[in-house]
Amino acid sequence: MHRIIRLCYRKIIDSNSRQPWDVAVFNATHLEFYMQAQRMDPDGMFTTFQEFSTDEQQAEQLQYLTSAGAIGYIRQLNDIMPDIANTYEKLCLPFRNFKFEIIQSHIENKSQHRVAIWFYSEPITWIDTVGSQLLIAYGDHSESFRSGKEIETEMIELVPYLSISHINPVGTES
């Protein structure tokens, strides 16, 4: 049995992040949050994202504006998800789109800044689960299964914050 799925990986970045890319995103998004929060609240009534969140529209706008600090770094990934590797320890999972989220932040206390980037894969064929690994093939290989053609596959580890976000029942065979 195989199914066409999309995977989602939620990468959390905070003051404990140590990878150079993560640290760069942390610093850039905190700076952007700081600047946008000051612009949106020139009287300085709010210091945390949670305080901005009392106004849903304002919080949504602050999320969007702060994401600008991460865009250049996300482009550096060349459409390959960070942290998701195959059995050869090579980053391998393409992503189609992403969503940026401020989990929490503070204008004056940078250590409270915490963001997440949700990466959504391209459609892939989920062939099987072997232990804690997914056996997949990139793209929709339904026709190859029907015709008995050989398919190139990858095995990727199920890591924390990686999940199946979409499933296409059309790709299901009994």
Write out the chain's pLDDT in tens, 174 residues. Answer: 789 999 999 999 999 999 999 999 999 999 999 999 999 999 999 999 999 988 888 889 999 999 999 999 999 999 999 999 999 999 999 999 999 999 999 999 999 999 999 999 999 999 999 999 999 999 999 899 889 999 999 999 999 999 999 998 754 443
Which residues on adjacent β-strands are paired with residue 137?
A: 125
The distance of Cα 93 from the centroid of its chain, to the nearest Å, equals 11
Which residues make Cβ contacts (< 8 Å) with residue 135, sequence separation at least 6? 126, 127, 128, 129, 153, 154, 155
Domain housing 99: 3-171
Q: In the chain, how many domains are there?
A: 1
The number of beta carbons lying within 10 Å of the beta carbon of residue 97 is 11
